[in-house]
Amino acid sequence: MKLAFVVDPLDEFKLEKDTTFAIMREAAAQGHALYALQQEDLAWHKQSVTGYAARLHLTGETPGWYRLDPPLETALEKFDAVLMRKDPPFDMEYVYSTYLLEIAERRGARVFNRPQAIRDYNEKMAIARFAEFTAPTLVTRRTELLHGFLHEHSDIILKPLDGMGGSSVFRVRRDDPNLNVIIETLTSDGARTIMAQRYIPEIRAGDKRVLVIGGEPVPYCLARTPKAGETRGNLAAGGTGVARELTARDRLIAETLGPQLTAAGLLLVGLDVIGDYLTEVNVTSPTCFQEITQQSGFNVSAMLLNKMEKLI
């Protein structure tokens, strides 16, 4: 297969944990041809969406892990698959890229994850589609509703709808003297909508990343345990990741959501589960492949590529 990866700058990859690198490495091992491009390399040109894509060769060395051929303008439908692996933030440039990729789809390009689905499934708001699996949650910009939610549940989490890696996530209790300034900061004095969730004590056992590929759960999750004195389990916030077999509840959530996610065009999804509750649905560039593979021996990248081959 000819695989085009829409990515962040290659020099910014953290090879020891980068999921896109893990997918590239497995694809190269299977004999697939790799191409790399960035958002700014996409264009709508002569009624076709093209990308200035460079053939990517993995050297197996560190540093200098890759070598690029000169980029060539190529219509995206000429690739067997285009993998949208640009990390958030999900800003307007990201949205414009999904518009271009959606046009490419109409000309025959196979894009994973599907651009419309990436737009439709906000990673925080998407849990509202599956409310039977969520803890009590409020989405609002109104201060009085946030105060009422805290009064009802006593211990809550506040977070922006466009954050990643645990950024700007606050745990707040009724007696918190900083409550008003936290709400003012997160909502920009009522101009931005945020999410509040009842605090889930099981976070101490880990914020689990459950991967769903082609509607099927990976048999192991990565439980990201917060460091001492921290509420957030995100690896970017210093959490420690431990691969574990899925619990019955994890599997129920993943298998229930799987068919709907697949029907929407979401080949790869990372569900965040704390205790028995679904807290996020990650669709932009889900991670944790390397940690799960290294600790469990299950080749997550191979599963992804095998599912992709069946779709194209």
**Which listed residue (209, 234, 250, 291) is catalytic?**
209
**Which listed residue (18, 123, 207, 272) is catalytic?**
272
Q: What is the mean pLDDT of residues 27-42?
A: 98
Q: What is the mean pLDDT of residues 280-286?
A: 96
Report pLDDT for 81: 98
Selected from 1.10.3720.10, 3.40.190.10, 3.40.50.20, 3.40.390.10, the CATH number assigned to the domain covering 2-112 reads 3.40.50.20
Catalytic-residue membership of 232: yes
Catalytic-residue membership of 272: yes
Catalytic-residue membership of 282: yes
Chain segment 127-183, per-residue pLDDT in tens: 999 999 999 999 999 999 999 999 999 999 999 998 877 788 999 999 999 999 999
**Which listed residue (25, 85, 86, 124) is catalytic?**
124
Catalytic-residue membership of 174: no
Chain segment 49-84, per-residue pLDDT in tens: 999 999 999 999 988 999 999 999 999 999 999 999
Report pLDDT for 226: 82
Distances (CA, A) of 209 to 52, 164, 231, 288, 299: 33, 14, 16, 7, 16
Q: Are the C-beta atoms of 71 and 54 separated by less than 8 Å?
A: yes
Question: Which pLDDT band, with edges at 50, 70 and 90, does 228 fall under?
Answer: low
**Which listed residue (114, 208, 224, 291) is catalytic?**
224
Domain ranges of the chain: 2-112, 136-199, 202-311
Catalytic-residue membership of 204: no
Sign of torsion, CA 256 262 265 270? Answer: positive
CATH fold match for the domains 136-199 and 202-311: no
Catalytic-residue membership of 224: yes
**In the CATH hierarchy, which fold is given to the domain comprising 136-199?**
Dna Ligase; domain 1 (3.30.1490)
CATH architecture of 202-311: 2-Layer Sandwich (3.30)
Catalytic-residue membership of 280: yes
